[in-house]
Amino acid sequence: MDQLMIAMLKQSREKIAREKAKELSLDLKSITQLYNEYAVPFELWEICLEMLYFASYSGDADSSIVRETWARLIDQALSRGGVVEACSVLKRVGSYMYPGDGALLPLDTLCLHLEKAALERLESGVETVGDEDIARALLAACKGAIEPVLNTYDQLLSNGAILPSPNLRLRLLRSVLVVIREWAMSVFGTEDGYKCSWRFINIRRIILSGTNCSHQPRDS
C-alpha cells in the first residue's frame, strides 16, 4: 500500500511538472511568479536563492526567508548525499552570493546547521565527517576570506545558549583551529605558515587527548 501511494504521488508530481513546464513555454512570467508558482512548490531551493539574489533581495527584518530557504537547501543536500553534498552545495551557492550585503549568506545559520548535522551523523555512525570539512566549506563560500568565518565561529562560541553540548563546542573549536591555521599560512608565508600549522595541530592534539584521558586518583 505504501509503495502504491508513493508511486501515485510520483505520477501526480510528474503530471503537475509537465503542466507547469507547458505553462512556462506559453508566455513570460515575472520573477515573483516564477518564485511563488514554480521554484517554491517544486522545492528548487537553490534556484529560490538565486532569484532572491537576482532580485537584490535585501531581506526582511531578521532575514527569516533567506535563512529558512538556506536551511531547506542544506537539509535537501544532507538527505541526498550527507555532509559532503551539503558542503559542496554551500561552496557553490555561497561563493556565488558572497560578499553582497551579507543578507543572502547567513554564515551563523549555515555554520551551526552544518556543524550540528556533522556531529549528529558522526555520533550515530551514519557518516564519517572530518574536522576540516565544515570550516573549509565556509572558507570556500567566502572565497577564501578568513575574517568573516572566524568572526562567525567566535560569535557562536561566545553564546553558551546556542551551544549547550560540550561535544558541539569541541567540534567548533576544532573547526576554529582549521581557520586559524589557514590564517597563519596566509599571513606568515608558506614556510612560517607550515610551522604555525604544526603548532596549531599540536594544540589540537592536546585538546583531543585531554577529552579522552581519565583522571586516576592518587595513592595516599
pLDDT of residue 206: 42
pLDDT tens profile 36-71: 988 999 899 999 999 998 887 766 655 789 999 999
Q: Which of 3-12, 167-176, 187-196, 198-207 has the lowest mean pLDDT?
A: 3-12
Helix count (H) and strand count (E) of the chain?
Answer: 8, 0
Environment class of 77 (CB within 10 Å of its CB; exposed 0-12, middle 13-18, buried 19+): buried
pLDDT of residue 139: 96
Contacts of 140 (CB under 8 A, 6+ apart): 90, 91, 94, 95
Q: Does residue 10 have a pLDDT over 50?
A: no
Q: Does residue 211 have a pLDDT over 70?
A: no
Q: Does residue 219 have a pLDDT over 50?
A: no
Q: Does residue 148 have a pLDDT over 60?
A: yes
Q: Which of 1-10, 24-33, 75-84, 130-139 has the lowest mean pLDDT?
A: 1-10
Q: Is the preceding peptide bond at 148 cis, omega within 30 degrees of 0? A: no
Closest CA to 184 of 193, 176, 195: 193
What are 179's three cell numbers? 581557520
pTM assigned to the model = 0.75
Q: Per-residue confidence at 200, pLDDT binned at 50, 70, 90?
A: low
Helix (H, G, I), strand (E, B) or coil at 143: coil
**Mean pLDDT rounded to a whole number for the chain:** 80
Q: Per-residue confidence at 145, pLDDT binned at 50, 70, 90?
A: very high
Cβ atoms of 83 and 43 within 8 Å: the answer is: no
Q: Does residue 25 have a pLDDT over 80?
A: no
